[in-house]
Chains A and B, each alone.
Chain A
Amino acid sequence: MSQTITIDPVTRLEGHGKITIQLNGQGEVEDAHFHVTQVRGFEKFSEGRPFYEMPSLMARICGICPVSHLIASAKACEAIMSVRIPHTAAQLRRMLNLAQMVQSHALSFFYLASPDLLLGMESDPAARHIFGVVAAKPELGRAGIGLRRFGQHIIELLGNKRIHPGWVVPGGVTEPLAPAKRDEILKMIPEAYANIGLALGAYKQIAESFAAEANVFANFPSLFLGLINEDESVEFTDGTLRLIDSHGEIVEDGITAMRFTEVIGEAVEPYSYTKFAYYKPLGYPQGSYRVGPLARLNIAKSMGTPLADVELLAFKQLSSGPVWSSFHYHHARLVDMLYGIEKIEQILTDPLILDKHVRATAGVNRLEGAGQAEAPRGTLNHHYKVDENGLITWANLVIATGQNNNAMNKGVLQAAKHYVKDGKFSEGVLNRVEAVIRTFDPCLSCSTHAFGQMPLVLSLLSQEGEVVDQVIR
């Protein structure tokens, strides 16, 4: 008799999802799926709205990475307007996006992942949370809270709100940077460096003890996609996309936002409301790829900042080619954060950063536009069509979690096959299966639109589809 294990909800994620693991009659894992269980509706209900409202509307998709949606959306609107935004506006947006990346990564690493890493995959689940980390490692708890504050406070200073700032608009930003705000951000930089240094040091000390997990946490060849500058350094806000294969060879380069849908398709599966992105020439699912910190570091030849470049070199020592194991998303996330802090410091010393020209204006000059940016968890593409009056007639969003969806599902299957034996599993085993998903730091609120309380269930199903055992949280 076959069985199904259901983990519902998967905890310590942004949003809500569940995992099912299907066992055969011998108790061996046959299949596993990660389900995103709420439907999204943003593309549909934006139809009929004026295009210039889109950034503010789209930012409401997510409370953790609204800035990336703001930026990708504003860029899509600017394509419709046919304008190029002022240099200072581009730099300010870049800083805002990096601040969001730092705070989001701090949440992912310290609040969501570090309980597994610092307290152990098998540790008492009742204390396996950020407050357990605070109790066991207060210096790291302070560092995590400090880095999150750093990013959030910059967002608040620039956008006047910590969540859903309305400062980014089609054409640029609504107001220039005040000197006092620049000075306040610069004052926070030294502490941010100290905190990320502490985190990188602590991570390197424990990383080797997770070699077994790294071996089976979504460790397989795949394509990788991410934004890159002309000098092949990492980019979050501008640049174009590069797609590489599992050996590091360039498959596609210079992918602009408008070209995105020429090369990337989206498939659907009956078990999830999140779509599955794939590289069209290879088809689905062979063309599945990964985005986010791991992909960014695999693709980039440099970070473009001195300290992060040193860390990138160390990261690339993990493999002779692209790093395959998704466990190393954690490491890549820390390098991203260091880069973000350095880049913010660089941006603030730009002689034009206080310039008052921060917004271009125009009406509808094209009936279609697309924009892309790197969200903390990966590439984001917004694509709109409008009528002559600038009202949205069609919209499509391809978000990072959808682009990692196939890899997350394959990763769950890989880990489940390794850890679930003879139909038996412990809480620690199930936590490891959940931890595979946590490495990707998926944002399910972005991929869907959750409403109400979201549970997480892990189910063990029989061959006939009957629920044999279930853990519900």
Chain B
Amino acid sequence: MARCLILACGNTLRSDDGIGPWLAEWAEERFASEPDVRVIARQQWTPDLAEDIAGAESVVFLDCSIGSAAGSVSMVEVRPCSVAQGFATHHVGATELLGLARDLYDSLPRTSLLLTIGAGSTELSETFSGAVLDAIPEACALLERTVVEMLSGQA
């Protein structure tokens, strides 16, 4: 199990929705020599990921946000929700995954953060919108800083 888990979500065929997997690929390369970092990118998050989360000291979720201004980079703390609340079987969010990790495996990461970039477009495309392209350096820097802090125990 990794000390720091980076868990990305998104569809690389839907323009800015693919920013999570793109950042995951960047992180995989950036932390290639760091055995305590594990990166998982999925088109959608599913309940089986709860076990990976339960085994991690810290987790960074990566996703695009359709509720934020295009290109805006945000990092927020995520708390587990109750798994008894109804939600879809085929897709779960970060809070539900944390809830599953707690309820099924009695374990939660010390730190759980969600990094999002506001989507400018989620139309069929394999390229990002201008706003998201401009935001990539800021997102990468924030992700790098966060992971380094997590590994040093500061986050």
What are 20 A-B contacts defined by CB distance under 8 Å? A126-B86, A127-B84, A129-B87, A129-B89, A130-B47, A130-B89, A131-B85, A132-B84, A134-B83, A134-B104, A135-B83, A135-B103, A138-B103, A138-B104, A141-B104, A145-B48, A145-B51, A148-B48, A149-B48, A149-B51
B86 touching A145, Cβ below 8 Å = no
Interface residues as binary, B95-121 with A (CB distance below 8 Å gives 1, 0 otherwise): 010001001110000000000000000
Chain B hits for A129, CB < 8 A? 86-87, 89
A residues contacting B by CB (< 8 A) are 12, 111-112, 126-127, 129-132, 134-135, 138, 141-142, 145-146, 148-149, 152
Tell me if B50 counts as interface (CB < 8 A to partner A).
yes
Report yes or no: A145 in contact with B104, Cβ–Cβ below 8 A.
yes
Residue of A nearest to B92 (CB): A131
Q: Identify which of B50, B85, B89, B96 gathers the most chain A CB atoms within 10 Å of its CB.
A: B89
Q: How far is the CB of B39 from chain A (nearest CB, A)?
A: 14
**Chain A residue nearest in CB terms to B42:** A162
Contact assessment for B104 and A131 in the assembled complex, using a CB-CB cutoff below 8 Å: no
Docked Cα-Cα span, A131 to B90, in Å, equals 12
Known contacts A131-B83, A131-B100, A152-B48, then 20 further A-B pairs from the complex at CB < 8 Å, ordered by chain A residue: A12-B89, A111-B47, A111-B89, A112-B89, A126-B86, A127-B84, A127-B86, A129-B86, A130-B47, A130-B89, A134-B83, A134-B103, A134-B104, A135-B84, A135-B103, A141-B104, A142-B104, A142-B105, A145-B51, A146-B51
- B51 smallest CB distance to A (angstroms): 7
- Chain A residues within an 8 Å CB radius of B48: 145, 148-149, 152
Provide the bound-state CA to CA distance between A129 and B89, in Å: 7
Interface size class of B (residues with CB under 8 A): 10 to 19
Nearest 5 pairs of A and B residues by beta carbon: A131-B83, A135-B84, A149-B48, A126-B86, A145-B48
Cα(A243)–Cα(B89), bound, Å: 35
Report whether B100 and A134 are in contact in the complex, using a CB–CB cutoff of 8 Å: yes
- For A126, give the chain B residue with the smallest CB separation: B86
> Please, which residues of chain B bring their CB within 8 A of the CB of A111?
47, 89
B108 to chain A, nearest CB (A): 15
| A388–B100 alpha-carbon span in the complex (Å) | 55
Nearest B residue to A135 by beta-carbon distance?
A: B84
User: Which residues of B are found within 8 Å of A112, using beta-carbon distances?
Assistant: 89
* Contacts known (A112-B89, A142-B104); A131 close to B51, Cβ less than 8 A: no
Q: How far is the CA of A131 from the CA of B98 in the complex (A)?
A: 13
Given contacts A131-B84, A134-B104, contact A145 B47 (CB under 8 A): yes
A192 to B103, CA, bound (A): 21
**In chain B, what residue has the closest Cβ to A139?**
B104
In the assembly, what is the distance between CA of A65 and CA of B89, in Å?
17
List the A residue with the shortest CB-CB distance to B99: A131
CB neighbours (8 Å) of A141 from chain B are 104
Interfacial chain A residues near B86, Cβ < 8 Å? 126-127, 129, 131
In contact, A145 and B50 (Cβ under 8 angstroms): yes
Q: How far is the CB of A447 from the nearest CB of chain B, in Å?
A: 18
Q: Measured between C-beta atoms, what is the minimum distance from A288 to chain B in Å?
A: 30
The answer for the CA separation of A111 and B47 in the assembled complex, in Å, is 10
With both beta carbons as reference points, the residue of chain B lying nearest to A107 in the complex is identified as B89
Which residues of B sit under 8 angstroms from A138, Cβ to Cβ?
103-104
In the assembled complex, the CB of A90 is this many whole angstroms from the nearest CB of chain B, namely: 29
How many Å lie between the Cα of A152 and that of B49 in the bound state?
12
Q: Shortest Cβ distance from A280 into chain B, in angstroms?
A: 38
Per-residue A-contact encoding for B43-83, CB less than 8 Å = 1, 0 else = 00001101100000000000000000000000000000011
Q: Which residue of B lies closest to A11 (CB)?
A: B89
